[in-house]
Amino acid sequence: MFLYKLEVQLADRNIVMIVMGDSDEEVMNEVEIHLSKHYVEPPVVREIVLIEKRRANKGAAYIIETH
């Protein structure tokens, strides 16, 4: 199992997502599912960029800086 850090460019903003999964394909499918659950109206996704991939071990973490 891996932790994926993704940058998602929506029509009106950029967001960072952390998703856990076994494969790149599984995680990309999960991104769409989580976006549709989070927003009342599913957003327009322009681009999804994989920033980092790490094994999901105890203590694994990402630091997400905001500007």
> At 33, which amino acid appears?
I
Q: Per the domain annotation, does 63 fall within a domain?
A: no
CA distance 66 to 13: 13
Model-level pTM?
0.83
- Measured CA to CA in angstroms, residue 21 lies from 40, 41, 43, 54, 56 at distances of 24, 25, 22, 10, 9
Q: Per the domain annotation, does 30 fall within a domain?
A: yes
Q: Per the domain annotation, does 10 fall within a domain?
A: yes
Q: Per the domain annotation, does 66 fall within a domain?
A: no
Q: Indicate the SS3 state at residue 34.
A: helix
What is the domain extent for residue 9?
2-55
Longest dimension (CA), the chain: 35
- The tally of domains found in the chain comes to 1
Q: Per the domain annotation, does 23 fall within a domain?
A: yes
pLDDT tens digits for 18-51? 999 999 999 999 998 999 999 998 899 999 999 9
Residue whose token pair is 């999804």: 48
Q: Per the domain annotation, does 67 fall within a domain?
A: no
Q: Tell me what the mean pLDDT of segment 60-67 comes to.
A: 79
